[in-house]
Amino acid sequence: MSATETLKRNKTKLIEVLCGDHTFILNKVLEKELITRRDYNNLKSINKENVEGHVIELVDKIMNKGEKTCQNFLELLQTDDVAETYPDLERIKLQDVLPKPVPATSPCNADMVPEAKRLKKDEVYELNSQPVGLCLIINNENFHSLKERRGTNKDAESLADVFSWLGFKVLMCKDQTRDQMEQTLKLFASLHDEEKQLQLQELDVQEWCGRWLPAPQQPVRHGDAFVCCILSHGSLHKVSGVDSQPLAIKEIRRYFVATEQSPLTGKPKVFLIQACQGDKIQRGVLQKDVEEDSLTSIPEEADFLVAVSTVEDHVSFRHPIDGSWFIQSVCEQLRLHCPSGEDITSILLRVNNMVGQKEGSICVGLKKQAPEVKFTLRKKLILSPRCT
């Protein structure tokens, strides 16, 4: 029996069960990309008097998308987390087209990643170290004269959670001035130096272990990749310290250029920057062609990726409780697509699309945001979940 026919035969019972938590299944089908973000927004905002009406619309939408989507939907219904949420699914005969249940999460063995296996060895950055590398988060929340950045701790925890899942050792420095940020970044760029190691131990560094704890006083070593996340206020091409003094993004990058001594030479260095780049508000238009900047790299500046939450001159949006559009989208897309072996530039393309669909006003198109990604990576960077 086809998946579409299976859904048709069991539609009434299925709707009855899914009404138990209609928002959970709606979020799940979006997460698995069975519906588009536009579908999701429409389904979420439809004017129905009861929960059943919402579920009927969702199931009809799935069935109208064809056999493959119906098959994927049936597989989703058999994943562990969905089965636990809707235990009554067991009494519905959905297994006719499914040989076995599908696990809720993808295997974390990098050898199981299809795309990584298809690529030649010299086309992908090798990530064999344990841990994979360091993830440094500079989280500026409380400023001397600027507004408190409410919601930034949510961003910091989301980043820490996802990058520790990807095998990184995650460290955080909180509320740093411009000079302190510069000192911290230069220290992390020079960890091969014994003197720098001693200076680093003098900083107030926290380590993520499911929650923030004081970092142990022991040497910190780089691995096969480096990630730096800076969460702060900002201005054009700059990020601000808590003293409102600016630090140029290009200067941050220069601290990490390749040298004969640097442990990061030839290794990927990713910078995720959540900060306004001006005070203009982007507005939506029906359609616009976007040209990418062509980057000319020289060897010492190879292997960089810099993703900024918004384009130059414009603001970047942050929810006081849920965190920023950009960082939360990055974390969500990494969770969704790293297990399948998708490379980071492709994932950030998804982030751009996701952020671009968000609305900062009840009036459609009034407040929009577009992140900007530039890179001089020479290979694909594929981050995979690590078994713990």
322: Cα separation from own chain's centroid: 14
Q: Which two tokens stand for residue 346?
A: 């492709």
Determine which of 103-112, 125-134, 285-294, 361-370 has the lowest per-residue pLDDT on average: 285-294
Task: Tell whether the model's pLDDT for residue 291 goes beyond 70.
Answer: no
Is the backbone peptide bond immediately before 299 cis, with ω within 30 degrees of 0? Answer: no
Q: Tell me what pLDDT residue 338 has.
A: 93
Q: Tell me what pLDDT residue 163 has.
A: 96
Q: 242-254 burial by CB neighbour count: b if 16+ within 10 A, else e?
A: beeebbebeebbe
Element (H, E) at 128: none
Query: Cα-flanking dihedrals φ and ψ of residue 60, to 5°?
Result: -60, -40
Map out the domains of the chain with their CATH numbers: 3-97 (1.10.533.10), 123-283+291-375 (3.40.50.1460)
Q: Tell me what pLDDT residue 46 has.
A: 64
Catalytic residue list contains 276: yes
Q: Tell me what pLDDT residue 23 has.
A: 83
Measured distance CA(138)–CA(170) in Å, rounded: 11
Q: What is the mean pLDDT of residues 253-278?
A: 85
Q: Tell me what pLDDT residue 44 has.
A: 75
In angstroms, how far apart are the furthest CA atoms of the chain?
71
Residue 108: which region, alpha, beta or left (left: phi > 0; alpha: psi -120 to 50)?
alpha
Could you read off the pLDDT of 15-49 as tens digits, one per residue? 888 988 888 898 888 888 898 888 887 787 665 55
pTM of the model: 0.63
Q: Tell me what pLDDT residue 192 has.
A: 72
> Exposed, middle or buried: residue 319 (CB in 10 Å: 0-12, 13-18, 19+)?
middle
Measured distance CA(161)–CA(210) in Å, rounded: 7
Q: Which residues pair with 173 in a beta bridge?
A: 138, 205
Catalytic residue list contains 22: no
Choice among 22, 54, 233, 314 that is catalytic:
233
Choice among 173, 276, 331, 338 that is catalytic:
276
DSSP 294-351: PP---GGG-SEEEEESS-TTB---EETTTEEHHHHHHHHHHHHHTTTT--HHHHHHHH
